Amino acid sequence: MRYRVLGGTGIQVSAHCLGTMMFGSVGNPDHDDCVRIIHAALDQGINFVDTADMYSAGESEVIVGKALAGRRDDVVLATKVHFPMGDGPGPNRGGNSRRWIVREAEESLRRLGTDWIDLYQIHRPDHSTDVEETLSALTDLVRAGKIRAFGCSTFPAEEIVESHQVAERRALGRFRTEQPPYSILARGIESAVLPVCQRYGMGVLTWSPLASGFLSGAIRKDRPVDLTTGRARLTPGRFDPAIPENAAKLDAVERLVGLADEVGCTLPQLAVAFAAAHPAVTSVIIGPRTMEQLDGLLKGATVTLDDDALDRIDEIVPPGTNTYHPDGAWRSPYLADPTHRRRPPADRAAA
C-alpha cells in the first residue's frame, strides 16, 4: 500500500481510503460482517477510514467505532457533518452553523467511541451560514482537541478560494482537504477544483470512483440491471438505459471494458487506478458493501496506468468533462431556484 501526506498536515494516509457509506441499513446491515470488512482493509495496509454522521442515520459511525476498538491509534479517522440528523422536525438540525457543528461533533465522537476525530469535514456548502462562522467553530474544535484537522466535501472551486481568503483575514484554521466526486465518467473537477486544491496545498480524497456503479462491471449495455441491491436499489431511475445520459455512460463503459482487458485488470481496478493517477489526489475512497468487493478493489491497488492508457481514457471521456452530473454532487442554488435569476414582478413592470 502506498502512503501520502494529507494536505500538509504531516499525517500519512493510504492511497486508498475505506469509505463506509454502505455499512448499515442502507447497504450491509450485518454489523459483524462490516467489522470484518474494516479489519480486512486495515490488515492489508489501509489506515484511512471515512464515514459521515448521516450514513444510515449514524449507524455507520457506530459500526466504525466497533471495528476500531483497540486499533484506534493506528487509524486516520474521518467523518462529516452537514445533513439533517434525528427524528425531530427542528429547523436547526443540520447545516454549517456553529450551533449544529459543535453539537454534532459531540454526537459523532459518542457514536465512534473515540476522544478525537482526525479529519472533520463539512459535507456540503450552506449558503445560509457565513463561512467565517463555520471556520471559527471548526478552529475552536481543533483547539479543544476534539478534532485534529478539518476539510470540506463537494465544494465548488470559488467557495474553496473564499474559505481560504476568510481564514487568512480572520486568522482562523483553514480547510486542509476537499472530498469531491471523481471518476472516468465524471471529470469536471479537473478544470477548477483540483487545480485550486493544488494551489492551496490541500489534500484530496475522492469519492465514487466507480461512478455510482457504472464502472463496477455489473452494469453493461444490453444487460438487465439488478435494481434490488446497492445504489440501484436506492435510485433505480439513475440506471434507466432509456435516459440519454445513461446511454452515453453505457457506451463509454463498453470502450473502457476493452481498455481494461488490454491493460490486464478489471474495470473497477482501472477506474480506481485512474483516480489515483491524478497528481492532486491524495487518496481514493473505495466503498465496498461486501468482502468480495473489497478484495477485488484491493487487488488493483498496485495497478499503475501508463501514458498510453491515460491517453486512451482521454479519448473516451475528454479531460474536465462529465458524462453525467455526479449523484449527490453540489448544484448551484442560483441555477436551481428561478427567483435567484429573476427580478420580482413589480420591479420588472417598473423597468
Express each pLDDT in 103-128 by its tens digit: 999 999 999 999 999 999 999 999 99
- Most distant CA atoms of the chain, gap in Å: 69
Query: Which residues face 3 on adjacent strands?
Result: 14
| Position 32, amino acid | D
Span 268-276, average pLDDT: 96
Percent of the chain with pLDDT over 70: 94
Neighbours of 185 (CB within 10 A): 25
Q: Say how far apart CA 136 and CA 129 lie, in whole Å.
A: 12
Neighbours of 23 (CB within 10 A): 31
DSSP state of 85: -
pLDDT tens string 236-262: 677 778 888 888 999 999 999 999 999
pLDDT tens string 173-230: 999 999 999 999 999 999 999 999 999 999 999 999 999 899 998 888 877 776 666 5
pLDDT tens string 288-338: 999 999 999 998 788 999 999 999 999 999 999 999 888 677 777 777 788
Q: For the CA atoms of the chain, what is the radius of gyration?
A: 20
Instruction: Using the predicted structure, report yes or no on whether residue 278 has a pLDDT greater than 90.
Output: yes
Q: Say how far apart CA 19 and CA 231 lie, in whole Å.
A: 14
Q: Say how far apart CA 127 and CA 114 lie, in whole Å.
A: 31
State residue 31's pLDDT score.
98
Query: Which residues are marked as active site?
Result: 55
State residue 299's pLDDT score.
84
Q: Which of 66, 79, 73, 65 is nearest to 21 (CA)?
A: 79
Q: For the chain, give the mean pLDDT.
A: 92
State residue 233's pLDDT score.
62
* CATH class in words for 3-326: alpha beta
Q: End-to-end distance of the chain based on CA atoms, in angstroms?
A: 64
State residue 336's pLDDT score.
78
Residue with cell 484530496: 204
Give the range among 32-41, 66-75, 85-94, 132-141 with minimum mean pLDDT: 85-94
State residue 73's pLDDT score.
97
Return the domain boundaries, the chain.
3-326
